């Protein structure tokens, strides 16, 4: 992706956003199916030695949904940066974010050097 071309960046971000929305729709369907299965079952899944509990599966899907929603918010913020003309510029140091980094992480806010300095 050429970060100097706003239309190319916008296209890539929109495509990634569409993929994330599709993932979210699929996960929502999975979550609904797990909930429906728990309503239709009178099994004691909390003590079933054969597999994961329904509560665990719901929790796992819920965590992934949260991650996808966060990713969508980051993509929306990146699209805002494209519109503002600041996409591809590190928010920490003001230097360009490398095309390789943006190819791997299109919503990146920082260059690789500044990302490496971040504390967890």
Report pLDDT digits (tens) over 70-94. Answer: 999 999 999 999 999 999 999 999 9
Cα–Cα separations (whole angstroms), residue 41 to 51, 74, 91? 15, 38, 51
More confident residue, 45 or 6: 6
More confident residue, 119 or 99: 99
- Domain spans of the chain, in order of start: 6-85
Q: State the number of CA atoms in the 13 A half-sphere of 7 facing the CB.
A: 0
d(CA 55, CA 68): 20
For the four alpha carbons of 100, 105, 107 and 110, in that order, the dihedral sign comes to: negative
d(CA 12, CA 3): 10
Q: Is residue 40 very low, low, confident or very high in pLDDT (cuts 50, 70, 90)? A: low
User: Residue 23: how many CB atoms within 10 A of its CB?
Assistant: 16
More confident residue, 113 or 38: 113
User: pTM (2 decimals)?
Assistant: 0.78
More confident residue, 57 or 23: 23
Nearest Cα residue to 88 out of 71, 73, 105:
105
């Amino acid at each position: 992706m050429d970060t100097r071309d706003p239309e190319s960046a916008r296209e890539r971000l929109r495509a990634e956003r569409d993929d994330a929305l599709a993932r979210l729709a699929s996960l929502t369907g999975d979550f609904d199916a797990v909930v429906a299965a728990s309503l239709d079952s009178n099994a004691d899944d909390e003590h079933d030695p054969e597999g994961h509990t329904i509560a665990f599966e719901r929790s796992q899907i819920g965590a992934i949904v949260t991650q996808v929603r966060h990713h969508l918010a980051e993509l929306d913020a990146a699209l805002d940066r494209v519109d503002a003309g600041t996409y591809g510029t590190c928010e920490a140091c003001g230097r360009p974010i490398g095309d390789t980094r943006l190819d791997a992480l299109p919503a990146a806010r920082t260059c690789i050097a500044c990302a490496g300095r971040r504390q967890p």
